[in-house]
């Protein structure tokens, strides 16, 4: 009976992983297809990569998306960490309920609603104070920070809750001012979580289509907006090439980040063991 | 609320602590809460040909008094228009069925991962998370290549002699289900796994020792214990799937209408902002209860 169950679980796992990965691998496979018709194999070729690299539109969109992603990730990490500190370490201030509700709501809010509401805000603001006079980089970045900081706050809250306050209290007992405690004790311990938050915000921003297409104006085309306008009309071999590059970049990034975190953790354990001796 | 904040801030000694609270607080007030009131306001306005294309909600009457005009016409119109009501029911049906499908597929996978050896568990978990980091749009796009008339699945079936001519897979409700399940199943697997990882296996043994059959054990022990994971995972699939826009657009190809598409269309194609805002408010009304349940479950799970 037990064996039967593990066979079932094993086949479920195989099926699940195949379901998750076969479409991605097929997309990579067809990016090396010479034929213009994506599913018809016309021999191995890298011609679509050439087509992709020669497209100025693609480079412009990529540059805009990367700029937004970096600025967004940096601000979202800063503000999200502040929010997490306020919620976990600053006790029960009034208005805390509203604050914690607002910080988690963007996590589950449908993107069409967030996008529409932010666009209407920007238009209203423009009518009242004349800012933002045009929609593009700034408005997309603000929209992205608003939902990215929620993800950062959740990550940091989790780490803060699991960390305990003993080290901070010890530093305070030794005469450190709260400001020094924050910078010398709390923040260094939060660094891995902040890195994870930064990376997540970066990818979320690079990936967002719906909110960006609501709050962007003419002339501001991010990479997802460009991809979307091309694939709406069906399969495109150059998009397969672009997908391959993006998937590989993400895979390498995740593996390197994972390896760095793993190494850091190992080093810390070693240091703690040595300190113990 | 302002006074509450002030007393809270007075309790904190340095000025920097108040900055830590105030920066995210005001950011969220301005860019999250205020926009909702604007949506609500515009949903109660009237469409006019102007820029911006809606009637002002507050108006100075001739005697100098500030009057407020609330129009529920947009909501009445949504309610009376069969297309809208049908689209709402359609969205709900599609997202409920997708959630059930995700649960049926995700549950055995999550269980399999939680029962694997530690090394295998880390790798499998990473494999579930990795698609999260790759573009959502491109993962949906990948299915166009699989489901198209000349796509991989049709080619394979013709090659195997199962069918003679391509069957219609793309631009159908089936394709939308495939797309939603494919992109959202990790949202189901991860909370389920987090819950199952903590399961006490000795209870299974106790049930077996007392003579319970595996199926009985599953329904009386495993299922009730994994209920928090099931609820969290189901809500994480159901909520975003209801407002989904990209998947019905790319894989449904205009044959499958969901609320997200209608909202986008009213706004971008029809430029009917008040109706678009009313659609958004109605969508939020449908989702506010599931969202609150999710927050409750999350808060209890993380103990914050």
Residues B251/B170, Cβ–Cβ less than 8 Å: yes
Q: Over the stretch B115-162, which tens digit does the pLDDT of each residue have?
A: 888 888 888 888 898 888 888 999 999 999 899 888 889 989 998 988
For B135, name the nearest residue in chain A, comparing CA atoms only.
Answer: A207
- pLDDT of A276 > 80? The answer is no
- Range with top average pLDDT, A174-178, A263-267, B86-90, B93-97: B93-97
Task: Compute the average pLDDT of residues B98-122.
Answer: 91
> Domains of chain A, with CATH numbers?
23-54+235-266 (no CATH), 63-223 (1.10.3720.10)
Of A143, A235, A246, the CB nearest to B138: A246
| Residue-level pLDDT at B106 | 95
pLDDT band with cut points at 50, 70 and 90 for residue B212:
confident
Question: Of all residues in chain A, what percent carry a pLDDT higher than 90?
Answer: 42
pLDDT at B52: 66
**A271: distance to nearest CA of chain B, Å?**
24
- What confidence tens digit (pLDDT) does each residue in A184-228 have? 888 999 998 999 899 899 999 999 999 999 999 888 899 999 999
Query: How many CB atoms are closer than 10 A to CB A250?
Result: 19
Nearest to B36 among A88, A117, A253 (CB): A117
Cβ–Cβ gap B38/A124 under 8 Å: yes
CB contact under 8 A, B31 and A224: no
CA of B151 to nearest chain A CA: how many angstroms apart?
A: 6
The partner residue sitting opposite B284, judged by closest CB among A91, A113, A178, is: A113
CATH of domain B73-302: 1.10.3720.10
**B103 CA to chain A: closest CA distance, Å?**
12
Is the confidence at residue A1, as pLDDT, over 50?
no
Judged by DSSP in three states, B47 sits in coil
Residue B16 has pLDDT above 70, yes or no: yes
Mean pLDDT for all residues in chain A:
88
Domains of chain B by residue range: 73-302
DSSP B32: I
Radius of gyration (Cα) for chain A, nearest Å?
Answer: 23
Mean pLDDT of chain B: 84
Q: How many CB pairs under 8 A join A and B?
A: 260
Answer yes or no: do B291 and A21 touch at CB < 8 A: no
Query: Which residues of A fall within a CB distance of 8 Å from B39?
Result: 113, 116-117, 120
What per-residue confidence (pLDDT) applies to B242?
A: 92
Determine the residue of chain A that is closest to B250 in CA distance: A232
Residue A24 to residue B131, Cβ atoms within 8 A:
yes
Q: How large a percentage of chain B has pLDDT more than 90?
A: 35
Among A17, A25, A11, which residue's Cα sits nearest to residue A244? A25
* B201 touching chain A per CB within 8 A: no
Residues B145/B255, Cβ–Cβ less than 8 Å = no
B72/A20 Cα distance (integer angstroms): 45
pLDDT in tens, B228-272: 899 999 999 999 999 999 999 999 988 888 999 888 888 887 778
| CA distance linking residue A68 with residue B74, whole number of Å | 36
Residue B304's pLDDT band, with cuts at 50, 70 and 90, is very low
A131: which DSSP letter? -
Higher pLDDT, B208 or A26: A26
Closest approach of A120 to chain B, Cα-based (Å)? 7
- What ipTM, to 2 d.p.? 0.87
pLDDT in tens, B272-290: 888 888 889 989 988 888 8
pLDDT tens-digit map of A74-89 = 999 999 999 999 998 8
| pLDDT given for residue B103 in this prediction | 97
Interchain contact, A104 vs B130, CB within 8 Å: no
Most confident of B17-26, B61-70, B205-214: B17-26
DSSP B172: S
């Amino acid at each position: 009976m037990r064996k039967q169950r593990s066979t079932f679980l094993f086949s479920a796992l195989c099926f699940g992983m195949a379901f998750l990965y076969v479409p991605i691998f097929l997309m990579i496979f067809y990016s090396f297809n010479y034929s213009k018709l994506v599913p018809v194999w016309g021999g191995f070729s890298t011609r679509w990569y050439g087509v992709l690299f020669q497209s100025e539109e693609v480079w412009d969109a990529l540059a805009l998306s990367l700029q937004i992603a970096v600025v967004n990730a940096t601000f979202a990490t800063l503000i999200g960490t502040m929010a997490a500190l306020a919620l976990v370490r600053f006790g029960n201030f009034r208005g805390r309920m509203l604050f914690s509700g607002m910080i988690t709501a963007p996590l589950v809010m449908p993107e069409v609603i967030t996008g529409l509401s932010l666009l209407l805000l920007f238009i209203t603001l423009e009518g009242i104070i004349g800012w933002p006079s045009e929609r593009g980089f700034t408005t997309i970045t603000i929209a992205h920070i608003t939902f990215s900081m929620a993800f950062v706050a959740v990550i940091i809250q989790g780490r803060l809750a699991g960390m305990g306050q003993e080290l901070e209290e010890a530093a305070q007992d030794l005469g450190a001012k709260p400001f020094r405690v924050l910078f010398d004790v709390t923040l260094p311990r939060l660094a891995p979580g902040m890195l994870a938050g930064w990376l997540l915000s970066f990818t979320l921003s690079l990936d967002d289509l719906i909110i960006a297409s609501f709050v962007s104006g003419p002339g501001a085309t991010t990479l997802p907006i460009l991809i979307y306008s091309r694939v709406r009309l069906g399969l495109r071999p150059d998009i397969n090439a672009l997908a391959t590059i993006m998937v590989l970049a993400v895979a390498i990034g995740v593996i390197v980040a994972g390896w760095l975190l793993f190494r850091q953790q190992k080093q810390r354990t070693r240091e703690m063991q040595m300190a113990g001796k | 609320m302002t006074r509450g904040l002030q007393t809270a801030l007075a309790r904190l000694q340095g000025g920097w602590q108040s900055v830590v609270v105030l920066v995210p607080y005001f950011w969220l007030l301005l860019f999250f809460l205020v926009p909702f009131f604007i949506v609500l306001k515009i949903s109660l306005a009237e469409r006019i040909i102007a820029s911006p294309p809606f009637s002002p909600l507050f108006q100075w009457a001739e005697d100098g008094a500030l009057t407020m005009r609330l129009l529920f016409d947009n909501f009445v119109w949504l309610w009376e228009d069969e297309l809208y009501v049908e689209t709402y029911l359609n969205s709900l049906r599609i997202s409920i069925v997708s959630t059930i499908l995700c649960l049926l597929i995700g549950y055995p996978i999550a269980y399999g991962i939680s029962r694997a050896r530690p090394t295998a568990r880390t790798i499998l978990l990473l494999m579930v998370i990795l698609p999260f980091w790759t573009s959502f749009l491109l993962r949906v796009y990948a299915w166009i290549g699989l489901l198209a008339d000349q796509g991989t699945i049709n080619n394979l079936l013709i090659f195997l002699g199962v069918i003679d001519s391509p069957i219609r897979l793309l631009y159908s409700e089936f394709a939308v289900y495939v797309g939603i399940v494919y992109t959202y199943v990790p949202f189901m697997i991860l909370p389920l796994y987090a819950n199952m990882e903590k399961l006490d296996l000795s209870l299974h043994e106790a049930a077996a020792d007392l003579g319970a059959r595996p199926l009985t054990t599953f329904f009386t022990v495993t299922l009730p214990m994994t209920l928090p994971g099931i609820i969290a995972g189901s809500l994480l699939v159901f909520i975003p799937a209801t407002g989904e826009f990209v998947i019905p657009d790319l894989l449904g190809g205009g044959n499958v209408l969901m609320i997200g598409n209608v909202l986008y269309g009213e706004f971008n194609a029809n430029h009917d902002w008040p109706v678009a805002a009313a659609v958004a408010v109605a969508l939020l009304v449908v989702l506010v209860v599931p969202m609150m349940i999710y927050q409750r479950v999350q808060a209890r799970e993380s103990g914050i």
